[in-house]
């Protein structure tokens, strides 16, 4: 068996394999729902209803998509440079940490002053967290997959230590959580009365900014060049290591914004379960979006929809929520295969 | 000093060997995959799947060794999935590995919830019991540590020797190593790179799953979520630390496990009251990162690791 | 051909297509026992494809292969080896981190066999080594071997498996003239043992020297088959290239002042590849300096120093009259150095970028293409379109991914992007490797035109013929050391070959002391 590149793929060639991938994901999920003893059609229906079937559902999905857009962007930016940032989880918590450090009363500033400061500090914190693995890669050639992964564990333990120690909410009845942020540091609702907060707006704005940077700036050009062919980029004079570090700073900062958004827009304080794996889910979002920043918005809505829908479905149909994770893992693997098939044909030899 | 005292107790070294055992299986498994040229980031998920599959088989009534076989089979199936996507289809080994970890973990949790819907605490099985090897287990300090372990631990050590012999002294091992160094050389000698790489990944994944099964069938007696807790990723660092050689990987696993056993015990000493326990828990991961930095000048990485092979590329 | 000629191998009407490209078009070839058949053709003629089909790397679309009368199943290297067909590949298929013995015994025994049989293998290798004059040390790591030694291992791999038919794909491309003689001696011993040999080459004098018969391929089709006794180099050249190929005329040089000079430059060795050892070189305007040498003798270091990728450990790089303080690829480009890299796929272009993005790869930061961190795609596109037009780059528009282009067109884009900056110094590293004759002549004419304009050209090439044809001045590089300057026509290939093997340096030292 051999893979032969296709010179000029037709539109059908570009659309059919991804479509089949998504359909297959749904089919596999239906089968698993059947194994759980539920009616597959009603399961799919419940998922759709739970994610987009009512105003409440839609807002919940958009809320859930917000941190995913940030982590999806973070991963997409990094993966473009072939810098495998698996540590978005730690960077997210770094952003959340900054938010509670600065936003729980130390600086009694008004909203228009404190929010930009916290945003800036969060981005900085996330960037610094990813800087260490980036430098280990450029200076020592240490693979960033394992270092960023291990650092997730380390940083989470660090947060746990702080939450049981200096950051512990004196009015929290002993639970390891931080104090609540002051009202000035809270991200306002987009529409009064509805649960959707401005973190979503910031996320969309970030996606557009990243798209502009990627397609129109010299940095975006450098990142793409380094990711596609490091040797040719170096030969042409592109400073590869500097580009990787810049990519890491950008990526870490974006992931940190997810943490900021969750604390300042939704939760109001920092706890250990702030993120149910947004950093890792961001990887799926980025891959489904083909690393395209605008595609990240669509992919985040899709992934968030599945999670929110599956939560609601699980309560109604008695099917374990892990069905959502299985669906996403399947979608990821099938999508990566499908994308390859849009560019190569399989030839029997 | 209290730490020195700890180092001289038999129970410490026994714990170290016990903690090392799942790491040995999984590290050997990853080593085989990488030697053939494939990075298998599915290791974390495969260990979870193996932990559950083996335990579930025993819980359903089969014998312990049958449970180990079931775990191995499950691991091999995930290995088949991983290698099908990465070898003949040449997809990104990073992405496929992470996808397999997610799939293995989530399908394990799904299966657990389906199989045991109403449990409040994790049910138990009768795990492997320690088997004292006569005479040898009476040696002071080392005796109980090395020779009063469960049969799975003995299997781990035996496997290190077997893998070493196969890798360096048989035609099969040579073919596997060559596939990881220059697949074109393998193809030019009439061998199938695809078959060798896929076979290696499947065998390696089987071993990883057995490593996971050790946790539920030997170290503990039940399956709970977050059981593997990053051990898979640590094994990837251990492969690098061991320079892709089984003997050195064994050493790395034992060293690492000793450190882990040490930090558990130090938590209970006077030192432990001053330092937050999270610092101790962080140590294994920090140590792994240091191990990676130390070995970063390695020239021994298989030259074709992560390089897909396209037959007859013009 | 005697009446008792036994047919060892026959390829019958082999056809192979890759997409729209017909690499082999109903090609037939027969080899008798004890015969040497040369497969001649220029780059892209389909020689390697044909042999890959024979050896089982590819399956033919139609046609059959028969070895000693039996049909060979296609697409199966194992079957080919079992039938007695062995191949010495152009790009060696060796694992650097394994030993010579491990490379030779790889795959020989069944994978189920429990032991490698090291002692017996070592004895066998020693015997073959002696018999065929192929000296190797079985326990040496292949990564430490020279190119000539590696080729010996490649040949031993085949001989170890008792092949009866040996295919050699461009074996002399990387050898000195003396090593080529050694190779031919080994081949004669093999023939005496009853082997048949297929020898792929594009070098006419070698084909005439070693082959009994020549089969010529052109654009995938058979263009002729003759006995070497009945033909000569001119006839073969005409069969090989038709009448399309006329190499550009070289007028005498009028060199100017040095534009770039290296003075006592030393760089570090990288593994077994030597760095430069106190090298001094001057590149003068209006002159082509050719660097001849066997690959792996310091050419990479030379190219990297001149190209801005490597800073010398000792010595200076002098641009015009000023010693360079800071040296990076970007500074080199800005200083007017045009670099044509050795490998257009690996370092010259980015396969998934389109022609526009590839065109601005070196100068995207200049005001011509960007402003304060933002790219001007309109200007970049115009630049790329200009190159496509002026340099006749065949493509479907400037926004197609460059990997769709043929090698020759890719090289034209690279040429265009560096020459349009009106460079004073041109570094051409293996500029025509793998190109068909039309592209070769085009590239050479561009280099000569630049020279006529007053640019200094450094030509690094493993092809001694190319170096001798184009260079006004030749240096030989061996083991990182540079020979003295030889003017055009001063040395014969054999004399240069001695320098390439390192012997000239000893004589030089001996004469000096």
* Chain segment A289-342, per-residue pLDDT in tens: 989 999 999 999 999 999 999 888 888 888 888 999 999 999 999 999 999 999
The per-residue b/e assignment along C104-137, b for 16 or more CB within 10 angstroms, e otherwise, is: bbbbbbebeeeebeeeebeebbeebbeebebebe
* Vertex B55: Cα angle to B51 and B57 (nearest 5): 125
Give the three-state DSSP class for A283. helix
User: Lowest-pLDDT range, A126-135, B233-242, C121-130, C496-505?
Assistant: C496-505
Q: CB within 8 A of C72, min separation 6: which ones?
A: C54, C56, C64, C65, C66, C79, C80, C83, C85
For residue A47, the tally of other CB atoms under 10 A from its CB is 29
CA dist., res. B208 & res. B47, Å (int) = 6
- CA-closest candidate to residue B101, choices B231, B219, B12, B3: B231
- CA-closest candidate to residue C388, choices C370, C410, C373: C410
How is residue B296 annotated by DSSP? G
Partnered with residue C216 across adjacent β-strands are: C40, C224
Got the DSSP string for C191-217? HHTT-EEEEEES-HHHHHHH-SEEEEE
Q: Are C292 and C474 in contact (CB under 8 A)?
A: yes
Q: Residues of chain C whose C-beta is under 8 A from some C-beta in A?
A: 18-20, 58-59, 75, 307-309, 328-330, 332-333, 339, 341, 346-353, 357, 361-362, 364-365, 370, 373-375, 377, 396, 403-404
What local confidence, expressed as pLDDT, does residue A39 receive? 85
CA dist., res. B136 & res. B257, Å (int) = 22
CA dist., res. A345 & res. A97, Å (int) = 48
Average pLDDT over residues A240-252: 96
Position B163 pLDDT exceeds 60 = yes
Mean pLDDT, chain A, integer: 91
Give the three-state DSSP class for B240. helix
Token pair listed for B185: 């050389």
Tell me the whole-structure pTM to 2 decimals: 0.90
Higher pLDDT pick, A220 / A49? A220
Helix (H) or strand (E) holding A48: helix A40-52
CA dist., res. B84 & res. B90, Å (int) = 9
pLDDT confidence tier of residue C358, bands split at 50, 70 and 90: very high
Chain C CB within 8 Å of residue B188 CB: yes
CA dist., res. C2 & res. B296, Å (int) = 63
CA dist., res. B250 & res. C213, Å (int) = 59
State whether A146 and B90 contact (CB < 8 Å).
no
- CA-closest candidate to residue C94, choices B305, B167, B36, B181: B181
Average pLDDT over residues C110-127: 92
Chain A CB within 8 Å of residue B306 CB: no
Higher pLDDT pick, C437 / A217? A217
Task: Write the pLDDT tens digit of every residue in C2-20.
Answer: 445 788 899 999 999 887 7
Helix axes C503-512, C493-500, angle to 10 degrees: 90
Report the largest interatomic distance among the alpha carbons of chain C, rounded to a whole angstrom: 79
State whether A332 and B102 contact (CB < 8 Å).
yes
What percentage of residues in chain B have a pLDDT greater than 70?
97
Average pLDDT over residues C26-48: 88
Q: Are B19 and B255 in contact (CB under 8 A)?
A: no
Ordered by start, the domain boundaries in chain C are: 7-241, 342-422
Task: Write the pLDDT tens digit of every residue in A222-234.
Answer: 999 999 999 999 9
Average pLDDT over residues C384-404: 90
pLDDT confidence tier of residue C124, bands split at 50, 70 and 90: very high
Q: CB within 8 A of A139, min separation 6: which ones?
A: none
Of B98, B278, B296, the CB nearest to A140: B296
How far is Cα of residue C402 from the mean position of the Cα atoms in its chain?
22
Partnered with residue C338 across adjacent β-strands are: C426
Partnered with residue C213 across adjacent β-strands are: C37, C227
What local confidence, expressed as pLDDT, does residue C513 receive? 47
Q: CB within 8 A of A321, min separation 6: which ones?
A: A310, A311, A314
CA dist., res. C137 & res. B83, Å (int) = 37
Report the largest interatomic distance among the alpha carbons of chain B, rounded to a whole angstrom: 67
State whether C94 and B172 contact (CB < 8 Å).
no
Chain B CB within 8 Å of residue C377 CB: no
Cβ contacts of A223 on chain C, cutoff 8 Å = none
Give the three-state DSSP class for B164. helix
How is residue C229 annotated by DSSP? G
How is residue A2 annotated by DSSP? E
CA dist., res. B178 & res. B37, Å (int) = 9
What local confidence, expressed as pLDDT, does residue C246 receive? 65
Give the three-state DSSP class for C92. coil
Higher pLDDT pick, B301 / C467? C467
State whether B171 and C89 contact (CB < 8 Å).
no
Which chains have at least 3 CB atom pairs separated by less than 8 Å from chain A? B, C
CA dist., res. A63 & res. A57, Å (int) = 10
3-state secondary structure C406-471: CHHHHHHHHHHHHHCCCCCEEEEECCCCCCCHHHHHHHHHHHHHHHHCCCEEEEEECCHHHHHHHC
CA C213 → CA B165, C188, C216, C487, distances in Å?
50, 15, 10, 37
State whether C111 and B312 contact (CB < 8 Å).
no
Which chains have at least 3 CB atom pairs separated by less than 8 Å from chain C? A, B
* Phi/psi at A178 (5° precision): -85, 170
The per-residue b/e assignment along A169-189, b for 16 or more CB within 10 angstroms, e otherwise, is: beeeeeebbbbbbbebbbbee
CA B158 → CA B131, B249, B255, C148, C260, distances in Å?
15, 14, 18, 43, 64
Q: Which domains does chain B have, with CATH numbers?
A: 2-113+150-297 (1.10.3470)
The per-residue b/e assignment along C290-323, b for 16 or more CB within 10 angstroms, e otherwise, is: bbbbbbbbbbbbbbbbbbbbbebeebbbbbeeee
Ordered by start, the domain boundaries in chain A are: 67-291
Q: Are B142 and B136 in contact (CB under 8 A)?
A: no
CA dist., res. C14 & res. C26, Å (int) = 5
- CA-closest candidate to residue B220, choices B10, B16, B3, B18: B18
How far is Cα of residue A200 from the mean position of the Cα atoms in its chain?
13
CA distance A124 to chain B (A): 23
Torsion of the alpha carbons at C14, C19, C22 and C28, rounded to the nearest 10: -10
Cβ contacts of A5 on chain C, cutoff 8 Å = 403
CA dist., res. C428 & res. C409, Å (int) = 16
Which CATH number is associated with domain C7-241? 3.40.50.300
Task: Write the pLDDT tens digit of every residue in C235-269.
Answer: 887 787 765 556 777 777 777 788 999 999 999 98
Give the three-state DSSP class for A346. strand
Q: Are C303 and C430 in contact (CB under 8 A)?
A: no
Chain B CB within 8 Å of residue C82 CB: yes
Position B38 pLDDT exceeds 50 = yes
Got the DSSP string for C51-63? HHHHHTSS--SEE
Residues 177-236, chain A, touching B (beta carbon < 8 A):
none
CA dist., res. C149 & res. C239, Å (int) = 34
Q: Are A304 and A61 in contact (CB under 8 A)?
A: yes
What local confidence, expressed as pLDDT, does residue C1 receive? 46
Token pair listed for C193: 């043992």
CA dist., res. A30 & res. A39, Å (int) = 8
Chain C CB within 8 Å of residue B184 CB: yes
* Phi/psi at A157 (5° precision): -65, -40
User: Lowest-pLDDT range, B135-149, B157-171, C150-164, C450-464?
Assistant: B135-149
Chosen for mutation from C347, C357, C368, C406 (greatest number of chain A CBs closer than 10 Å) is: C347
Q: Are B149 and B14 in contact (CB under 8 A)?
A: yes
CA distance C214 to chain B (A): 25
Of B91, B99, B282, the CB nearest to A157: B282
What local confidence, expressed as pLDDT, does residue B142 receive? 76
Average pLDDT over residues C424-437: 90
Chain C CB within 8 Å of residue B245 CB: no
Q: CB within 8 A of C478, min separation 6: which ones?
A: C293, C294, C297, C298, C499, C500, C501, C502, C504, C505
Most confidently modeled range among A173-182, B303-312, C1-10, C118-127: C118-127
């Amino acid at each position: 068996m051999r893979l032969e590149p296709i010179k000029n793929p037709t539109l059908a060639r570009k659309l059919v394999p991804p479509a089949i991938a998504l359909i297959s994901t749904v089919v596999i999920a239906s089968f698993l729902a059947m194994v759980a003893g539920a009616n597959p059609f009603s399961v799919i229906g419940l998922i759709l209803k739970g994610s987009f079937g009512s105003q409440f559902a839609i807002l919940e999905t958009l809320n859930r998509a917000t941190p995913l857009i940030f982590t999806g962007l973070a991963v997409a930016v990094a993966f473009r440079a072939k810098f495998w940032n698996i540590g978005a989880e730690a960077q997210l918590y770094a952003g959340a940490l900054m938010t509670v450090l600065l936003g729980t009363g130390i600086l009694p500033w008004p909203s228009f002053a404190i929010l930009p400061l916290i945003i800036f500090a969060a981005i900085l914190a996330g960037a610094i967290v990813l800087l260490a693995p980036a430098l280990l890669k450029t200076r020592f050639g240490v693979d960033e997959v394992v270092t960023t992964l291990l650092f997730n564990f380390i940083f989470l333990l660090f947060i746990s230590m702080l939450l049981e120690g200096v950051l512990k909410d004196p009015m929290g009845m002993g639970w390891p959580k931080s104090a609540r942020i002051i009202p000035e540091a809270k991200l306002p609702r987009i529409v009064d009365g509805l649960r959707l907060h401005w973190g979503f707006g910031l996320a969309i704005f970030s996606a557009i900014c990243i798209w502009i940077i990627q397609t129109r700036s010299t940095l975006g050009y450098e990142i793409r060049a380094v990711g596609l062919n490091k040797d040719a980029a170096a030969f042409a004079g592109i400073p590869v290591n500097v580009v990787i570090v810049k990519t890491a700073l950008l990526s870490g900062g974006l992931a940190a914004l997810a943490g900021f958004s969750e604390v300042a827009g939704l939760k109001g304080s920092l706890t250990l379960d702030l993120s149910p794996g947004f950093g890792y889910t961001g990887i799926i979002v980025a891959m489904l979006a083909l690393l395209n920043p605008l595609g990240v918005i669509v992919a985040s809505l899709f992934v968030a929809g599945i999670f929110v829908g599956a939560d609601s479905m699980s309560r109604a149909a008695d099917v374990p929520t892990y069905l959502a994770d299985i669906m996403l893992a399947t979608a990821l693997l099938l999508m990566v295969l499908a994308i390859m098939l849009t560019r190569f044909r399989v030839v029997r030899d | 000093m209290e730490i020195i005292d700890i180092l001289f107790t038999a129970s410490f070294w026994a714990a170290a060997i016990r903690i090392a055992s799942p790491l040995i299986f999984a590290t050997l498994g990853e080593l085989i995959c990488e030697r053939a040229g494939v990075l298998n980031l599915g290791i974390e998920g495969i260990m979870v799947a193996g932990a559950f599959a083996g335990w579930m088989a025993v819980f359903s009534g089969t014998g312990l060794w049958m449970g180990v076989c079931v775990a191995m089979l499950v691991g091999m199936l995930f290995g088949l999935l991983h290698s099908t996507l990465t070898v003949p289809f040449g997809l990104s080994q990073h992405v496929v590995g992470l996808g397999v970890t997610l799939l293995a973990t989530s399908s394990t949790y799904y299966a657990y919830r389906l199989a045991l819907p109403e449990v409040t605490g994790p049910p138990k099985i009768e795990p492997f019991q320690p088997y004292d090897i006569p005479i040898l287990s009476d040696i002071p300090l080392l005796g109980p540590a090395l020779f009063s372990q469960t049969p799975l631990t003995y299997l781990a050590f035996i496997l290190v020797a077997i893998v070493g012999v196969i890798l360096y002294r048989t035609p099969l091992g040579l073919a596997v190593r060559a596939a990881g160094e220059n697949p074109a050389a393998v193809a030019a000698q009439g061998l199938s790179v695809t078959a060798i790489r896929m076979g290696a990944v499947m065998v390696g994944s089987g071993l990883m799953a057995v490593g996971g099964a050790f946790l539920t069938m030997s170290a503990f007696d039940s399956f709970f979520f977050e059981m593997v807790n990053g051990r898979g990723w640590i094994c990837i660092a251990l492969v690098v630390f061991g320079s892709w050689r089984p003997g050195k990987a064994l050493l790395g696993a034992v060293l690492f496990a000793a450190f882990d056993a040490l930090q558990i015990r130090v938590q209970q000493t006077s030192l432990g009251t001053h330092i937050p326990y999270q610092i101790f828990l962080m140590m294994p991961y920090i140590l792994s990162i240091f191990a990676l930095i130390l070995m970063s000048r390695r020239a021994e990485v298989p030259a074709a690791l992560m390089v897909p092979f396209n037959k007859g590329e013009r | 051909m005697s009446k008792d000629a036994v047919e060892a191998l026959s390829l019958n009407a082999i056809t192979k297509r890759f997409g729209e490209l017909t690499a082999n078009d109903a090609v037939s070839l027969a080899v008798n026992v004890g015969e040497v058949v040369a497969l001649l053709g220029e780059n892209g003629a389909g020689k390697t494809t044909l042999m890959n089909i024979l050896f089982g790397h590819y399956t033919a679309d139609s046609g059959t292969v028969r070895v000693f009368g039996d049909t060979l199943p296609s697409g199966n290297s194992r079957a080919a080896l079992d039938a007695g067909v062995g191949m010495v590949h152009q790009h060696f298929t060796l694992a650097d981190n394994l030993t010579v013995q491990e490379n030779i015994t790889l795959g020989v025994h069944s994978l189920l066999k429990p032991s490698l049989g090291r002692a017996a293998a070592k004895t066998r290798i020693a015997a073959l080594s002696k018999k065929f004059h192929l000296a190797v040390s079985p326990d040496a790591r292949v990564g430490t071997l020279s190119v000539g030694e590696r080729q010996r291992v490649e040949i031993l791999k085949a001989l170890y498996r008792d092949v009866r038919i040996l295919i050699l794909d461009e074996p002399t491309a990387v050898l000195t003239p003396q090593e080529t003689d050694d190779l031919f001696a080994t081949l004669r011993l093999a023939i005496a043992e009853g082997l048949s040999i297929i020898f792929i080459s594009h070098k006419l004098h070698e084909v005439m020297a070693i082959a009994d018969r020549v089969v010529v391929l052109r654009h995938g089709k058979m263009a002729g088959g003759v006995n070497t006794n009945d033909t000569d180099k001119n006839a073969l050249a005409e069969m090989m290239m038709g009448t399309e190929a006329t190499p550009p005329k070289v007028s005498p040089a009028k060199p100017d002042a040095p534009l770039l000079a290296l003075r006592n430059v030393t760089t570090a060795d990288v593994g077994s590849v030597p760095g430069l050892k106190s090298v001094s070189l001057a590149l003068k305007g209006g002159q082509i300096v050719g660097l001849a040498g066997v690959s792996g003798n310091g050419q990479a270091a030379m190219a990297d120093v001149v190209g801005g990728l490597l800073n010398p450990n000792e010595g200076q790089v002098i641009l015009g009259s000023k010693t360079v303080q800071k040296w990076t690829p970007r500074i080199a480009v800005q200083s007017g150095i045009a670099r044509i890299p050795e490998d257009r796929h690996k370092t010259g272009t980015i396969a998934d970028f389109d022609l526009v993005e590839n065109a601005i790869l070196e100068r995207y930061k200049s005001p011509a293409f960007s402003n304060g961190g933002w790219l001007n795609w309109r200007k970049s596109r115009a630049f790329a379109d200009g190159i496509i037009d002026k340099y006749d780059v065949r493509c479907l528009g400037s926004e197609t991914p460059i990997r769709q282009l043929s090698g020759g067109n890719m090289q034209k884009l690279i040429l265009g992007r560096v020459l349009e900056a009106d460079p004073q110094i041109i570094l051409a590293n293996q500029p025509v490797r793998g190109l068909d004759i039309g592209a070769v002549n085009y590239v050479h004419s561009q280099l000569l035109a630049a020279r006529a304009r007053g640019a200094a050209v450094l030509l690094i090439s493993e092809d001694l013929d190319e170096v001798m044809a184009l260079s006004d001045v030749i240096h030989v590089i061996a083991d990182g050391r540079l020979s003295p300057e030889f003017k055009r026509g001063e040395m014969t290939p054999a004399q240069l070959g001695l320098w390439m093997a390192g012997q000239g340096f000893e004589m030089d030292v001996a004469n000096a002391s």
